[in-house]
Structure 1
């Protein structure tokens, strides 16, 4: 009778313990998994939207650059007078060779007849009815993506489809301010597809994203391997981008599948207003949110494992646990107070020893998980290539640095740094050599700044330095800029090759030029472009962009 009663109690304790722990595990897993999953999902979504924003910025910067090149070309007197067509032909052919994105360049007289062109294509043809002449004769014209109606047979297919162009045209006037013709150019749309393919290759969980460029009327201009090109999209994410918003959503696409969709507008660059393109970046939800699902699954699995272990212990120890458990409870209290580091081995039933060992193993695993979480946090805040901080680290650091500066009545200097002519290193020596140079640049930058300052890599060869400066913020910031320029200009050795490279720097001061990191980065970025415009290898202070604040010659 007593034996049956004992067995019944053990069964009841085991079942009650199992049900209680399973219920608590499910509840805890749901709450913790939902909260952690939501945070992780937000970070993944922000990563996709950041890709869209970077793609939009790359397109706008490229169009801005080539628009300026066409405007400068139109100021040549030989083009304005339209007298020496042989020299004009030589100029346009050389420009097409040097800058292949200009697939076709044509100089039209006042009647719309082509008098000089790339490889003499359409030479002598009258294209007065084409938009490049109709709009170009009235002022600078930038035409959206279109098929090559007159040149379709002159160029090979791209991805099995006829080549497409973006137009840039400007009017030509002679010295008497008389209209003499139009300089018309066709930019191959292939360059945008190359940006799409290479700009974000191999970026962690976002390495398999699809990037789309959408026109103002919702027509797909560019897609992954031609997907959806020419079709019209109606997505809530597209509507957000057309309202000049940047963000991400989970959207259902025309194929009926759900995608994590980042969106951003291509709203121009500097004085280039843009063509009202929208950028969408999508990734299948199951693939994009896989880390979220893994996190939730691991939380549930570990909870269930703990439930099973505890239930087994309860089954075997129900009859004689009271005494040893009391001792164990006291030992746990001592551990909580820091008096001991691990539970001691208890004499008695085998179940007591199992429980003691299991708890010690669990504590060890929790310690390992804490260390792993710390490592994950470090990875999330640092650039894999250089070990420098990333944009997330910059946002976190700036918030604390700004509070420190406010308390101590000091200033912050935000420097935007960009390597001059870095691409030729990759082209000549390979990307591994370029990576070596970037790592060495990171080391030199760390060497130049103080311990409490921050060096960040935003992407590519673009870096940011945030440092504390005193009341004479401008002087300290420019001294640091000079030190960086002097250090960077020292030769690099990579793969047995001696490489020389220089750097341009834009500087903004907080609170002089702004009190938010976005405003300061924009100010520093504008100053950086001013430094590039002055011949590179120099620094420019945002408040003094009219006069050079430093140059290679003054630092040598």
Structure 2
């Protein structure tokens, strides 16, 4: 049966529109899905890496405190055990994470202990004594043995400790005993709670700390504590890989899992705990599914509209149709086109306008995707770039800096006194302080320079400086930043002041820029430890 020209035109138009819509929707959705999935995986991996870093830094700090305590003359010549016990109790009072601290003689008998616990008893068969006699010892998480019934336990949950011990030596360098400490494992939960509570509640993210020795869950949901996990992500973390993957867990559900393994901190080699951050696939990729649905709905709506318009077309439109087909091919291969306008035939003019609207609408969908990617790169509260934005910036700027032989000053910043604002005036006041600090930072640095919020009250700035004046320029900018942040902030009618500690390091084009960021972080830690509200360059 032969068809009229009108019918052939309508069939051709409908086919063309469906092909154009399907092709653009598929390609746009495919690219958007891949990009967003990568960004989401990077976010989970970054969370896991932050947790491993905090765990290692915390253990390094506590081990250093025990090391300094062991050097006191009172312990090297413990003739007055009463004073020793007072000293140990003071240490425990100042650092509540220490569940127990004790001093033994060379036979392993406890001479003095916090709250008098275990005094006179022997711990000679415990690893904390045996390994401590050999040298500095930091043990993995274990169940309480001697202390389980002696220490208060308001939660009623099984008590777990991390051991720190080292030998006490007299002036002749002879071992006369062991200084032993049990850290309550609850500190790890407190770190997890303070860092990630908001993310967990909003995005259903769950954090697991897993022992490298036997894959036992040390920290995670209560129902899973003590279980052993056999996951590909754990195997990859054990081999030193950091990343993310989609995988099925023992509950049969599929999760997007970010993973990282502890690498230690400074002179502390670390216990190589593995941190997993999981999120249900349907939650992690929810934004991807919504975007795909949005693109397909736009395509479907315009397909119907254009089919209706096409039915009203008739006449001599074969030439315009040929041009439209060529335009569709160019679009299919990623080109930008303008639909030519044809005058004189009403139906052809309508089709031209409709196809132009389709191309514009699909281009608008791509623009929306670009906006969503921008949101993923910026901190929602302050509007500053976040860690993902920092990663993208460093990838670009390091190439440009190498070509132009520029020096980049990295200023790693942490607010002083911000926690007190949060605790006394509430999180809304804290948010106002963070937004004010972010605005001052943007106004302080020069045009073309970079400022980002890393999370909490930590910020980072990257400044271009001349090589022969790098410390002078960076120091002036750091001083100006501290002065601006020190200015009072009006919160609920009250003046609030916060300080700012800054660690400085320079990227000269050789090292990986992430290494320089880590050096600036070390300098910041030294500032916080020795004075606060000032800046310091990293020491060689």
Distance 1:408 1:152, change over 3 A: closer
Instruction: Determine the C-alpha separation between the residues in 2 that align with 1:369 and 1:457.
Output: 29
Counterpart residue number, 1:316? 312
Q: Distance in 1 between matches of 2:28 and 2:359?
A: 19
Please state how far the C-alpha of 1:204 moved relative to its aligned partner: 9.1
TM-score, normalised to structure 1, is 0.85
Q: Give distance in 2, aligned partners of 1:10 and 1:348.
A: 14
Equivalent in the alignment of 2:476 = 479
Aligned-pair distance for 1:63? 0.6
1:224 and 1:400, CA in 2 relative to 1: closer, same or farther beyond 3 A?
closer
Q: How many residues align?
A: 526
- 2:491 aligned with 1:494, yes or no? yes
> Could you list the runs of 4 or more consecutive aligned residues of structure 1 that deviate by over 6 angstroms after TM superposition?
323-326, 341-349, 351-354
Q: Unaligned regions of 5+ residues in structure 1, if any?
A: 333-340, 547-556
Superposition deviation, residue 147 in structure 1: 0.7
Indicate the residue corresponding to 2:123 in structure 1: 127
Match in the other structure for 2:333: none
Q: Which deviates more, 471-480 or 236-245? A: 471-480
**Higher mean Cα deviation, 450-459 or 407-416?**
407-416
Q: What whole-Å deviation, never above 9, does each CA across 1:469-528 have from its counterpart, x for those lacking one? A: 22422221122122222222333332334333322222222316x453212212222322
1-structure distance, mates of 2:391, 2:475 = 23
RMSD between aligned residues: 3.2
Distance 2:407 2:42 in 1: 30
2:87 paired with 1:94: no
SS of 2:252 mapped into structure 1: coil
The 2-side partners of 1:227 and 1:217 are apart by 21
Q: Tell me which of 420, 424, 429 is aligned to 1:424.
A: 420
Seen in structure 2, the aligned counterparts of structure 1 residues 496 and 87 have a Cα distance that, compared at 3 Å, is farther
> In 2, distance between residues paired with 1:434 and 1:183?
41
Residues 306, 354 of structure 2: 8 Å contact kept = no
Aligned-partner Cα distance in 1 for 2:281–2:5: 49
Confirm whether residue 214 of structure 1 aligns to residue 210 of structure 2: yes
Alpha-carbon distance, 1:451 to partner:
1.2
Scaled by the length of structure 2, the TM-score of the pair is: 0.87
Change (3 A) 1:498 1:91: farther
Distance (whole Å) between structure 2 residues aligned to residue 451 and residue 172 of structure 1: 56
Q: Is the 8 A contact 2:217 2:229 kept in 1?
A: no
**Are residues 1:435 and 2:406 paired?**
no
CA contact (8 A) 2:501 2:534 kept: yes
Answering whether residue 279 of structure 2 is matched by residue 293 of structure 1, we say: no
The whole-number CA distance in structure 2 between the counterparts of 1:17 and 1:67 is 75
SS at match of 1:385: coil
Distance 1:33 1:368, change over 3 A: closer
Deviations 1:246-280 (A, max 9, x none): 10111222222221111101121111111121111
Aligned-pair CA distance for 1:28: 3.9
Match of 2:372 among 373, 376, 394: 376
What is the alpha-carbon distance in structure 2 between the residues aligned to residue 173 and residue 124 of structure 1? Answer: 20
Between stretches 263-272 and 383-392, larger displacement belongs to: 383-392
CA contact (8 A) 1:193 1:222 kept: no
Cα displacement string for residues 79-130 of structure 1 (whole angstroms, at most 9, x for unaligned residues): 2222222222222222222221111122222222222222222222211111
In structure 2, the partner of 1:508 is 505
Q: Residue 104 of structure 1 is aligned with which of 96, 100, 109? A: 100
CA distance 1:527–1:166, change in 2 (3 Å): same
- Distance in 1 separating the partners of 2:512 and 2:264: 22
Contact 1:259 1:284 survives alignment (8 Å): yes
Query: Which secondary structure does the structure 1 equivalent of 2:44 belong to?
Result: helix
In structure 2, do the counterparts of structure 1 residues 261 and 405 end up closer, same or farther at CA, with 3 Å as the change threshold? Answer: closer
1:519 aligned onto 2:523:
no
